[in-house]
Amino acid sequence: MPLARLSPLWRSTSFRISLIHAGLLAAAIVGAGTGGWVATRGAAEREAHDRIALEVHAVTLEIQAEGLKAAGDAVMARAERPGALEYRLVDPTGRHVAGDLTDLGPKEGWRSLDFDGTAPGLEGKDRLLILTQRLPDGALLTVGEDLGRAEALRNTLFRTLLFWGGLALALGLAAGLYLTHRAFERMNALVRTVRAVAEGDLAARASDVRPEGDDIGQLAAGVNQMLDRIDVLMAAVRRVSAEVAHDLRTPLSHVRQRLDAAATAATPDLRNAALQSANDGIDRALRMFDAMLRLAEIDAGEARARFAAVDLTDLTDRVADAYRAELEASGRTLIVQIAECSVVEGDADLLTQALANLLENALKHSRAAATVTVRLVEEPDGIKLSVEDDGPGIPPEMFEVAVRPFSRLDPARAAPGTGLGMAITAGVARLHGGRLLLEDARPGLRVTMLLAPTQGPMLSQNDASCDRGRPDLPAVRGADGN
C-alpha cells in the first residue's frame, strides 16, 4: 500500500485501536512466555531435587541392608532404564563400584554444573543437578539428573508459543489493517455525501445503509434520515415563504391602493375612510407577523420555561364562556362538557390560545345553525380537549394539509385570517407532549388536543388545585381573531 494512503489510516481511530490491541496481545504473549519459562524452570529444578534426594535415600538403605556390591548391582540396573538418573558409587578406598557418571570430585552436597556437552563421560549433557553424599561405611554416592532435557523441552514449547503468538500478532495486524481500510473507505463515502450536501446537493444520500447492521451502516442510515428531514424542512420553508408572500401581497396591495385613494381624495371624509382602510390592512399584516412569531416561539420550545400546573377544567370553562355570546348570536348552539378535574403541566396562555383557535374555526367555518361542542375528558391514554361541530367538515385526505402553516382550504380563503391558527394549535399540543387529532365527526369536524395529565406532586409544587377558586385567564382571542 502506498505511503500516502497509510497516513490517513494511521490517523484513523479504528487502526489505532487495532495497534493497541496488537500491542496488548504482544505484551500478553511475552509476559505469559516469560512467566511460564521462569515458573517451569523452577518447577523442573524442584522436581529433580526431590527425585535425586529420594534416590540417594533409597540407595543408602539398600547398601545398609544388602551391602555395597548388591547395591552397586541395583544402581547399574537403574541406570539402564530409559530416563534414568546419573549415578556414581565409590567404595571407601576410592574404587569405582557402579554408575557411568564421571568423577566430579569428592565435594559433598548439592551442586549445579554446566557443561558444553562434549566433556568425557558427560557427552550430550549441558546442565547437571547432583547430590554427593558420604555413606556411613565411608562409601561416596553421587546421584545427578540432566536438566538439559527438561530445558530443551521447555525451550521447544516456548519457541512454539513464540512462533504461533507472532503469527497471531501478524494476522491480527493484517486483519486490523484490512478492516480499518474498509471502514475508512466507507467513512470517506459518508463524508463525501455530507460534503455534497454542504455544497448544495440536497439530493445526495449515503449508499452504504445498514439500519440493522454495523455502526457505520447505522450512522449512514441516520445521516440519510437527517437529510430526508432537512429536505422536508427546506420544502416547507419554500412553501411557507411562497404562502407568506401570497398572503401578504393582498393586504399590502390594498394598503397601497387605499393610500393612493387617500392622496387623491376629494373630501376629508373620503381621505379618512381610505386611511382607515389602509390602517386595517396594516393591522392584518401585523397580526400575521405576530402569529408567525408565536409559532416560531412554540416550535423552539422556549415556552417550557414558563410551564406550571394548569387547571384545564377552569380554563376550558372560561374560554367557552368568552365565545358563548358570539356563537349564540350567530345562531349556533354551544355545548360544554367538562371533566371534574383535569390538570396538565403547561403554559396557560398557549393552551388558552389553542382552544380559542379551535372555537374561532368552528365559528367561521360551520353552518349558521350548527351545534358546537367543547368536550374535556380524561381517558387512559391522556386528557382530551376537543371542539366538534356538525358543519360541512373537511375531507380526511385534507387533515394533514389543514395543520400546515398558511394552509387555508379554498372555501376558507374568503374569510379573514392568517392560516396559522391550526398550525399554532398543533404546535401547542406538541409542546405539551401531545398531538393534535383531526377526525370526521359525521357530520362535521372534531379537532382534539391529546395531552398528558400532571401527577399529584406537580400540583403541590405549583400550588395549583382543582378545588381552588378560578384564577383569571389571559385575554381570550385566537391567532386569527380580529
Q: Find where cell 555413606 sits.
A: 135
Calculate what percentage of the chain has a pLDDT beyond 70. 76
- Across 429-443, average pLDDT: 85
What are the tens digits of pLDDT across the range 453-465? 765 444 433 444 4
CB 57 within 8 Å of CB 143: no
Please check the confidence at residue 155 and state whether its pLDDT lies above 70.
yes
Please check the confidence at residue 6 and state whether its pLDDT lies above 60.
no
In this prediction, residue 3 carries a pLDDT of 46
| Higher per-residue confidence, 116 vs 183 | 183
The chain-wide mean pLDDT, for the chain, equals: 76
**Helix/strand/coil percentages in the chain, nearest 5:** 60, 15, 25
CB 409 within 8 Å of CB 424: no
Query: What fold is seen in the domain 215-299?
Result: Helix Hairpins (1.10.287)
3-11 helix and 13-66 helix, angle to the nearest 10 degrees: 80
- Across 239-262, average pLDDT: 75
What are the tens digits of pLDDT across the range 320-354? 999 888 888 888 889 999 877 778 888 888 888 88
- Across 198-224, average pLDDT: 78
Residue ranges of the chain assigned to CATH 3.30.450:
3-151
What are the tens digits of pLDDT across the range 370-421? 889 999 988 877 888 999 988 777 877 777 777 776 655 544 444 455 567 7
Other CB atoms within 10 A of residue 283 CB: 12
* CA proximity to 370, closest of 408, 325, 328: 328
What residues does 396 pair with on adjacent strands? none
CATH architecture of 3-151: 2-Layer Sandwich (3.30)
DSSP 482: -
Range among 5-14, 105-114, 376-385, 473-482 rated most confident? 376-385
Please check the confidence at residue 475 and state whether its pLDDT lies above 50.
no
Calpha distance 4→368 (Å, rounded): 79
Residue ranges of the chain assigned to CATH 3.30.565.10:
302-462
Question: Residues 77, 79, 83, 88: is their CA dihedral positive or negative?
Answer: positive
Calpha distance 331→145 (Å, rounded): 120
Altogether, the residues listed in the chain come to a count of 482
Amino acid at 461: Q
| Higher per-residue confidence, 76 vs 115 | 76
Please check the confidence at residue 123 and state whether its pLDDT lies above 70.
no
What residues does 338 pair with on adjacent strands? 376
* Omega cis (within 30) before 443: yes
CB 440 within 8 Å of CB 457: no
Residue ranges of the chain assigned to CATH 1.10.287:
215-299
Please check the confidence at residue 5 and state whether its pLDDT lies above 80.
no
In this prediction, residue 374 carries a pLDDT of 92
Please check the confidence at residue 87 and state whether its pLDDT lies above 80.
yes
Provide CATH code, domain 302-462.
3.30.565.10
What residues does 134 pair with on adjacent strands? 140
- Across 355-382, average pLDDT: 85
In this prediction, residue 119 carries a pLDDT of 53
Calculate what percentage of the chain has a pLDDT beyond 90. 2
CB 463 within 8 Å of CB 482: no
Which band of pLDDT confidence, cut at 50, 70 and 90, is reported for residue 473?
very low
Measured distance between the N- and C-terminal CA atoms of the chain, rounded to whole angstroms: 74
Please check the confidence at residue 298 and state whether its pLDDT lies above 80.
no
In this prediction, residue 125 carries a pLDDT of 63
- Across 132-141, average pLDDT: 84
